[in-house]
Structure 1
Amino acid sequence: MIIKNKGIGKSTQLPVWLQGYIDSPQKQKQLYRKTLIIVVLSQIFGGAGLAAGITVGALLAQDMLGTESAAGIPSALFTLGSAGAALLIGLLSQRFSRRAGLATGFLVGGLGAIGIIIAAVINNVVLLFVSLLIYGAGTASNLQARYAGADLATDKQRATAASMAMVSTTFGAVAGPNLVDVMGEFAYSIGIPTLAGPFILAATAFIIAGLVLFIFMRPDPLVVSTAIANVQKKNDTFQGKKNSENLKMNKREIVVGATVMILTQFVMVAIMTMTPIHMGHHGHNLKEVGLVIGFHIGAMYFPSLITGLLVDKVGRTTMAVASAATLLTSGMLAAFAPADSMVFLICALVLLGIGWNFGLISGTALVVDATHPSIRAKTQGSVDVLIALSGATGGALSGMVVAHSSYAVLSISGAILSLLLIPVVVRPRKTQSKELV
Structure 2
Amino acid sequence: MTSEAAAGNAAALPTDIAAVQRRTVLVLASGQVLGGLALGATISLGALLAADISGDDSLSGLATASLTLGSAALAVPMAALARRRGRRISLSTGMLIALAGVAVVITAAGLRMFPLLLVGFVLVGSGTAANLQSRFAASDLATDATRGRDLSLVVWATTIGAVLGPNLVGPGESIGAALGMPPLTGPYVFTIGAQLLAIALYLIALRPDPLLLAARLRDALTHDARTRAVMHPDRPVLARFAIFAVAASHGVMVAVMAMTPVHLLHHGATLTVIGLTISLHIAGMYALSPVFGILADRVGRLPTIAIGQALLLASLLTAWLWSEVSVAVTVSLILLGLGWSASTVSGSALLTEATAEPFRTRRQGRSDLAMNLVGAAGAVGAGVVLGWIGYSGLALVAIVAVAAVVVGLVLVWRGTRQPEV
Matched length:
409
Q: Give the TM-score of the pair, scaled to structure 2.
A: 0.85
Letter in 1 for 2:144: D
CA separation of 1:88/1:159 partners in 2, compared to 1, >3 Å: closer, same or farther?
same
SS in structure 2 at match of 1:175: helix
Indicate conservation of the 8 Å contact 1:89/1:105, yes or no: yes
* Counterpart in the other structure of 2:121: 132
SS in structure 2 at match of 1:155: coil
SS in structure 1 at match of 2:379: helix
| Alignment partner of 1:89 is 2:78 | yes
For structure 2, which runs of at least 5 residues remain unmatched after alignment?
225-231
SS in structure 1 at match of 2:107: helix
Identity of aligned residues (%): 33
**Cα deviations by residue, 1:106-139 (Å, 9 ceiling, x for unpaired):** 2212322333333334332201221121111000
Distance between the aligned counterparts of 1:323 and 1:333, measured in 2? 15
1:413 is aligned, of 397, 402, 419, to: 397
Matches within 5 A, 1:149-298: 149-183=138-172, 187=176, 192-194=182-184, 196=185, 198-232=187-221, 247=234, 250-281=235-266, 289-298=274-283
Distance between the aligned counterparts of 1:413 and 1:60, measured in 2? 32
Letter in 1 for 2:62: I
Q: Give the TM-score of the pair, scaled to structure 1.
A: 0.82
* Counterpart in the other structure of 2:339: 355
**Cα deviations by residue, 1:298-319 (Å, 9 ceiling, x for unpaired):** 3212111211110111111111
Indicate conservation of the 8 Å contact 2:6/2:220, yes or no: no
Shift of 1:356: 1.0
Shift of 1:82: 0.7
CA separation of 1:433/1:330 partners in 2, compared to 1, >3 Å: closer, same or farther?
same
Distance between the aligned counterparts of 2:41 and 2:345, measured in 1? 23
Indicate conservation of the 8 Å contact 2:41/2:168, yes or no: no
Indicate conservation of the 8 Å contact 1:93/1:101, yes or no: yes
Distance between the aligned counterparts of 2:48 and 2:263, measured in 1? 11
CA separation of 1:231/1:177 partners in 2, compared to 1, >3 Å: closer, same or farther?
same
SS in structure 2 at match of 1:420: helix
CA separation of 1:15/1:67 partners in 2, compared to 1, >3 Å: closer, same or farther?
farther
CA separation of 1:130/1:257 partners in 2, compared to 1, >3 Å: closer, same or farther?
same
CA separation of 1:61/1:14 partners in 2, compared to 1, >3 Å: closer, same or farther?
farther
Letter in 1 for 2:109: A
Distance between the aligned counterparts of 1:344 and 1:186, measured in 2? 40
Indicate conservation of the 8 Å contact 1:180/1:287, yes or no: no
Stretch deviating more after TM superposition (296-305 or 138-147): 296-305
Shift of 1:321: 1.5
Indicate conservation of the 8 Å contact 1:324/1:355, yes or no: yes
CA separation of 1:57/1:408 partners in 2, compared to 1, >3 Å: closer, same or farther?
farther
Shift of 1:223: 0.9
Shift of 1:44: 0.8
Distance between the aligned counterparts of 1:69 and 1:328, measured in 2? 31
CA separation of 1:79/1:39 partners in 2, compared to 1, >3 Å: closer, same or farther?
same
Distance between the aligned counterparts of 1:14 and 1:100, measured in 2? 26
